[in-house]
Amino acid sequence: MSPIRPRFKHSLLRVAVLALVLAQALGTTVQAAPADQQQVARKDILILPSNVQVPAPDIWNPYIPGTFILQGMNQNLMEPLFMLNYETGNIDGWLASGYTSNADQSVWTVTLRPGTEWSDGTPLTSDDVVFTINMLKTHAPLLNFSIPIKNEVASVDALDDRTIQFTLNGPDPFFLVSNLAGTTSQAIVPVPKHVWQNVDPVTFKNPWNNGTGAIFSGPYVVKSFSTTEFDYKRNDNWWGAKSGAFPLPAPLEIHRPWIGDSATAQQAMVNNDSDDGGGISGMTPSTQAAMIAQNPKIVPYNADLGWVDPCPRMLTLNTMIAPWDNKDMRHALSYAMNRRQIVDVVYEGAGGDSAVSNFIFPTYKALQPYRDAAADILAPLAEYNPDKAHQLIESHGYTMGGDGHYVGPDGTTLSLDVIGPPFMEPWGRMVVQQLQAVGVDANLRLIEWGIFRDQTGRGNFTGAVDWDGCGSVVEPWFGMNRYNKTYVNPIGTPGTENVDNTNNAGRWSNDDYSALMDQMGKLPLGDPRVMDLYLQAVRIWADEEPDIPLVQTPSLLMFNTTYWTNWPTADNNYVQPPDWWEHFLQVLIRLKPAQ
């Protein structure tokens, strides 16, 4: 199978989620009692700390927009049909063994592996996949992935117990990888028809019920959970091992505790109370070196820059709110960004100039031809030039006030409220500092993950530090299409997202750009027409600058080999290394006990 290109989807935070967030704010926690008190030796437990506290831990429905899935639901319980492997560029089969398409790629046929089962032992068949797709079509736009499925899928049919046929409304070269492969966080995962067929999926929490619920197909099941820790136990009857498709994972349990500060997370790893440093915020080269010096069993992903996350950091402005609806004002803020200073402070200089970002693409090899072709167009988007920032702001009638902040013709101070989730604080702090330096009265508000996603999804924000263009890893269209006007909704209306972040959160609408995206989306990878359409679109994007690129995201990932070995490192790169995505299933079946 050849590499294909990706595409992402949508969002809205339901009342149930917000109610639980409110309960958390009032000091209420939702906690399940452990189903199994049996003690497991430390050497058999995989400990993966998280830097996100989950306010609604009892929701195990990945299709309710706003549900947090990176606490293990995504990596331990759910299984996609396919996964896009960044290291090889190939689509790896998981629940499915293969796929075909017709000549114009308007009909896709997927074959399930033999022996697939749910965690309760019920066979997982084509009927479950068909049920899931039809559920999304029926309940659009209220479920994640439902809008594109409703728009694209004319019908889905079970040709037999192992074979599913998707008939689309038109040709789509990206259908499979966009929807059925885990491109970053999540793909469409089947849900068990026998559990879901008589419930409302918009409100169904998929409750755990002391071990009798939260049924998925993955190699682990829920053992216990709270707002601060999620524990999973291995399903020794997992279909993957029974059928011979995959080895049974070695860890008997996986513990995912929330650790609220970086220093505590670092010490936990040094003390062998943590096996993976992916959940440690604010890692720097000096911190990494100090930890390795204290515990030589800690190994880095590599000794230099680390792993480049596919989600460069951005400053997103709501283009429906004045004065940020004016491209000059957006360019002014871009000129105010000293990106190299952000690299030097946040990353201690790791990556140098290569860590400075001037577009939405990560520095991945497959994207380099596109970055090179548009180098002259994109270069101004990384320029630090306070004088130009001042000139653009003042050209719109602003004058500098005595307090060092610009004041508009109506006497209003030029201000910007910037929101971000807690782990974005290092970048947000630098953005606000640099905006203040050019006369913008900026402030940073850190808010809980679910609330952040709800506010950006609904357009209830002015500025945000985020990763809004995240998506392209092997071709340009996926991330660029996130700025298609198709995703623009009125402020206050839920946006569309692919679970991790909102498509076109800044609500930028450009007819010409969107038309180019629609044309690109119909062309297969490698089509010579892609480059010309891409360059036309980049010129529009650079002229409008709907999002302000900041920096690449080098992640200084580390692994503790005291208890577990065969981690995915730069020298052993069988799959991308983060422990917060569905691809981590591929790591789980490869980890080896060290003791």
- pTM higher than 0.85, yes or no? no
What pLDDT is recorded for position 167? Answer: 98
Tokens of 579: 């422990």
> Cβ contacts of residue 157 below 8 Å, gap of 6+?
130, 164, 165, 167
Cβ 381 vs Cβ 334: under 8 Å: yes
> Cβ contacts of residue 267 below 8 Å, gap of 6+?
none
Average pLDDT over residues 181-189: 79
In 467-576, DSSP assigns E strands to: 547-555, 558-560, 564-565
Q: Which amino acid is at 180?
A: L
Among 172-186, 213-227, 521-535, 557-571, where is mean pLDDT lowest? Answer: 172-186
What pLDDT is recorded for position 500? Answer: 56
Average pLDDT over residues 358-386: 95
What pLDDT is recorded for position 34? Answer: 46
pLDDT tens, position by position, 545-593: 999 999 999 888 999 999 999 999 999 999 999 898 899 999 999 999 9
Could you tell me the pLDDT band of residue 501, with boundaries at 50, 70 and 90?
low
Average pLDDT over residues 140-147: 86
Nearest Cα to Cα of residue 118 among 48, 194, 27 = 194
Average pLDDT over residues 121-130: 98
* pLDDT value at 292 more than 50: yes
What pLDDT is recorded for position 14? Answer: 33
pLDDT tens, position by position, 10-59: 333 333 333 333 333 333 344 444 444 569 999 999 999 988 888 889 99
Tokens of 8: 């992402």
Average pLDDT over residues 404-414: 96
Nearest Cα to Cα of residue 68 among 14, 27, 28 = 14
φ/ψ of residue 242, rounded to 5 = -60, -40
Cβ 586 vs Cβ 324: under 8 Å: no
